[in-house]
Structure 1
Amino acid sequence: MGKTSLVFGIFSLLILCGCGEKDTSFLITEHSIGPLLSETAVADLEQVFVKDSIAKDTTKPESGKIKIYQKNGKHLLTLTSSSDSIPTVENIRIFDSRYKTDKGIGLHSTFKDIQDNYPIKKIVTTINSIVIFPKESNLYFTIDKEELPSNLRYTSSKIEAVQIPPTAKIKYLMLAWE
């Protein structure tokens, strides 16, 4: 009788602990974001986000923009679909700070966090922001120029990594699948 109770106790403990499995509901990888895989067809989004709400832009269907909301109305993601014969997701903008890479990078991260975890391939300067592209990654990060020193906020010149303050916050986190 004692052995059965011990086995039952260990089994119950394993079930309560989740058997050590990591929750991937908000994990960003190179080929997935939460339950969404890079090869998922747009037609299958209803099954992937069964607990969430999906809103397609009916005023501009050619834009291919699809917004994913939690049932409580919180904006999770905006997807842009391909124009293939069987459309898949090409780009994803992350709106929810719970989404993080396996290296812990998310919307509340800083430029230092990016630098500490990803080698930088290039930095592109736009009118209002800079876009950081890591090497060998489908991710890219946008930092508002307001996060930069005042002498760099209005420049169209190339900005180098050494010019970006380590505390500069990520404004947009994007993932591109092509």
Structure 2
Amino acid sequence: MKFKYILLAVFSCSMLVNCTTEQNTDFQISGNQVGKLTKQSLARDIDLIFAKDSVVQDTVKLNFGNGASKIKIYEKGGELLLTLTPNNDSIATIQNILINDDRFVTEEGISKISTFKEIKDTYPIKKIISSLNNVVVLLKDNDLYFTIDKKELPESLRYNANSKIEEVQIPDNAKVKYMMVGWD
């Protein structure tokens, strides 16, 4: 009789542990997914995908039939989660995702509050592109990319948009300005 109770207690504990270890993927970034979005998500389904959140679209563009230029996803509490840019295909999917919320994190633990050192220690860097005010860090074999403000760079690199910036020239403690995902 006692064996039944012990077996029941062990089974109950294991079920409780299994239930609590399920991971919430609402803020997980992986290869083909950002939170509730996948590469195959259609722009027209955004209201359904984010039914519990607030979806704000550019109504002027929608009224003229060109589709929304930007779609902003707000949490019900008012926090901006994501800014989405659909492509212009006849069946539009999401082309670019700007990660606005710190809770979105990759499987490797990188988020928009990560430093350049954390990024380069986690991912191989494919290319660094310099613009007037920013540098864009593209990763090898990854749709994720980062923008770093040139204010984070040494002063000698800040004012020339055409200068080629190397990985070693970006300080380890440089903060990410934008974290984005670009899907083709």
1:153 is displaced (CA, Å) by 1.2
Unaligned runs of 5+ in 1: none
Q: Report % sequence identity.
A: 47
Runs of 4+ in 1 over 4 A off after TM superposition: none
2:44 paired residue number: 43
1:16 is displaced (CA, Å) by 3.3
1:116 paired residue number: 121
Give the alignment partner of residue 180 of structure 2, picking from 170, 174, 178: 174
1:106 paired residue number: 111
Cα-to-partner distance string for 1:110-159 (whole Å, 9 max, x where unaligned): 11011101111100001111000000000110000111111111122111
1:58 paired residue number: 59
Count residues with an aligned counterpart: 178
1:2 is displaced (CA, Å) by 3.2
The range that moved more, 80-89 or 122-131, is 80-89
Amino acid at match of 1:174: M
The range that moved more, 155-164 or 57-66, is 57-66
1:39 is displaced (CA, Å) by 0.1
1:108 is displaced (CA, Å) by 0.8
Cα-to-partner distance string for 1:29-62 (whole Å, 9 max, x where unaligned): 1200111111011122222212111111113444
> 1:159, 1:132 → 2: CA distance?
10
* Root mean square deviation, CA, Å: 1.6
> 1:50, 1:9 → 2: CA distance?
39
Please give the TM-score of this superposition, normalised by the length of structure 1. 0.93
1:86 is displaced (CA, Å) by 1.2
1:79 is displaced (CA, Å) by 0.5
Q: Call closer, same or farther: CA 1:41–1:7 in 2, change over 3 Å.
A: farther
1:158 paired residue number: 164
Unaligned runs of 5+ in 2: none
DSSP 3-state at the match of 1:130: strand
1:24 paired residue number: 25
Please give the TM-score of this superposition, normalised by the length of structure 2. 0.90
Amino acid at match of 1:170: V
Q: Call closer, same or farther: CA 1:44–1:7 in 2, change over 3 Å.
A: farther
> 1:64, 1:12 → 2: CA distance?
51
